[in-house]
């Protein structure tokens, strides 16, 4: 069955698609350790969110950088959910 145009359109692509070039640049330049389950190090994630002009990464968050730092620490240190429990 052929899907209609409205069924295949996306209102807004996910960040992984929308910023694919930026994420690839960061991943290729990232040599730091990554938390379990992460594709990028916390420093690369910070650069993605707050911008990195040297790599051509634009800023995506308008606010105090410490909020981003706190969120990343919380996510990086949170125990992973174990679905087998």
pLDDT digits (tens, 9 = 90+) for 1-42: 565 565 668 788 998 999 999 999 999 999 999 988 899 999
Q: Is residue 44 part of a domain?
A: yes
Q: What pLDDT score does 46 carry? A: 96
The CA angle 72-78-59, to the nearest 5 degrees, is: 15
Q: What pLDDT score does 37 carry? A: 86
Q: Is residue 71 part of a domain?
A: yes
Q: Is residue 12 part of a domain?
A: no
Helix (H, G, I), strand (E, B) or coil at 43: helix
Q: How many domains does the chain have?
A: 1
Q: Is residue 72 part of a domain?
A: yes
Evaluate whether 72 touches 66 at the Cβ level (below 8 Å). no
3-state percent breakdown (helix, strand, coil) of the chain, nearest 5: 50, 0, 45
Q: Is residue 67 part of a domain?
A: yes
**What pTM value is reported for the model?**
0.77
The CA angle 42-53-35, to the nearest 5 degrees, is: 10
Q: Is residue 70 part of a domain?
A: yes
Q: Is residue 85 part of a domain?
A: no
Query: What domain range includes position 58?
Result: 40-78
Q: What pLDDT score does 7 carry? A: 60
Tens of pLDDT, residues 53-76? 999 999 999 999 999 999 999 988
């Amino acid at each position: 069955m052929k899907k209609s145009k409205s069924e295949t359109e996306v209102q807004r692509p996910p960040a992984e698609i929308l910023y694919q070039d930026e994420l690839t640049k960061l991943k290729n330049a990232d040599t730091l350790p990554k938390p379990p389950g992460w594709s990028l190090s916390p420093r690369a994630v910070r650069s993605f969110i707050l911008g990195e002009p040297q790599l051509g990464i634009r800023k995506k968050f308008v606010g105090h950088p410490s909020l981003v730092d706190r969120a990343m620490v919380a996510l990086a240190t949170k125990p992973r959910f174990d679905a087998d429990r």
